[in-house]
Amino acid sequence: EDKVVQSPLSLVVHEGDTVTLNCSYEVTNFRSLLWYKQEKKAPTFLFMLTSSGIEKKSGRLSSILDKKELSSILNITATQTGDSAIYLCAVEAVGDSNYQLIWGAGTKLIIKP
């Protein structure tokens, strides 16, 4: 059965710290891995990683895909209170005629001032 596991489930750090969130997966026919940030409502897209794009960076956020280890990490440096959110990981797996998106349970990140 395809699955995506995120760790830790929750994390509390102080402003200015660096955090690393993990996402591991077991799927057939992997196509991409996506990271989303969810504050109060709609998850907002952060990164998409594929075999041809295994590293992405945007400001203080960066993500790496390790296809050998079937995992990805999301790094946030110099954290700010605005980074407090649930971070969701999803993996796209391709079937014969369609695709499916398998979601992890999320990591709840709390940044203390």
Binding status of residue 15 toward other proteins by CB under 8 A: no
Minimum CB–partner distance for residue 41 and other proteins (Å): 4
Neighbours of 1 (CB within 10 A): 5
Is 39 a binding residue for other proteins by CB under 8 A? The answer is no
E strand or H helix that includes residue 59: none
Q: Which spans in the chain are helix H?
A: none
DSSP single-letter state for residue 34? E
Q: Is the peptide bond before 8 cis (omega within 30 degrees of 0)?
A: yes
- Write the binding mask 59 to 98 for other proteins: x where contact by CB under 8 A, - elsewhere: -----------------------------x-x-x-----x
Provide the minimum distance between the beta carbon of 94 and other proteins in the complex, in angstroms, as a whole number: 10
Peptide bond into 113 cis (omega under 30): no
Give min distance, CB of 14 to other proteins, in A. 25
Q: Which residues pair with 111 in a beta bridge?
A: 13
58 binds other proteins (CB under 8 A): no
**Where do contacts with other proteins occur on this chain (CB under 8 A)?**
32, 34, 36, 41-45, 48, 88, 90, 92, 98-101, 103-106
